[in-house]
Amino acid sequence: MAAIRPVRATNWHVDVSWQHQPPKATVLHAQEIPEGGGGDTIWASSAAVFDLLDADLAHYFEKLTAVNTFIVSPKKSALADLLSGYEIPEGAEENSVEAGLARVREAAQKYPPIEVPVIKTHPENGHKLVFVNEGHTSHILGVSKTQSQSLLNYLYDLIKTPEVQVRFEWKQGDFAIWDNRQVQHYAARDYGAAKRRIHRITLEHDGVF
Binding site for Fe ion (CB under 5 A): 9, 15
Q: Is residue 185 among the annotated active site residues? A: yes
Closest approach, Cβ 62 to Fe ion, in A, equals 26
Closest approach, Cβ 184 to Fe ion, in A, equals 9
Specify whether the CB–CB gap between 163 and 42 falls below 8 A: no
Dihedral sign computed on CA atoms, order 139, 204, 12, 31:
negative
Specify whether the CB–CB gap between 53 and 119 falls below 8 A: no
Instruction: Supply φ then ψ for residue 124, to 5 degrees.
Output: -100, -40
Nearer to Fe ion, 84 or 148 (CB): 84
Q: Which one of 136, 139, 185, 205 is the catalytic residue?
A: 185
Q: Which one of 5, 13, 103, 136 is the catalytic residue?
A: 13
Position 179, amino acid: D
Q: Which one of 29, 122, 127, 200 is the catalytic residue?
A: 200
Distance CA 28, CA 22 (A): 16
Closest approach, Cβ 15 to Fe ion, in A, equals 4
Nearer to Fe ion, 28 or 88 (CB): 28
Closest approach, Cβ 21 to Fe ion, in A, equals 16
* CA distances for 137 relative to 18, 19, 70, angstroms: 8, 11, 8
Question: Which run of H or E residues covers position 146?
Answer: helix 145-159
Q: Is residue 15 among the annotated active site residues? A: yes
Neighbours of 208 (CB within 10 A): 10
Nearer to Fe ion, 15 or 134 (CB): 15
| Burial class (CB within 10 angstroms; exposed 0-12, middle 13-18, buried 19+) of 44 | buried
Closest approach, Cβ 94 to Fe ion, in A, equals 20
Query: Any idea which residues carry the catalytic annotation?
Result: 13, 15, 185, 200
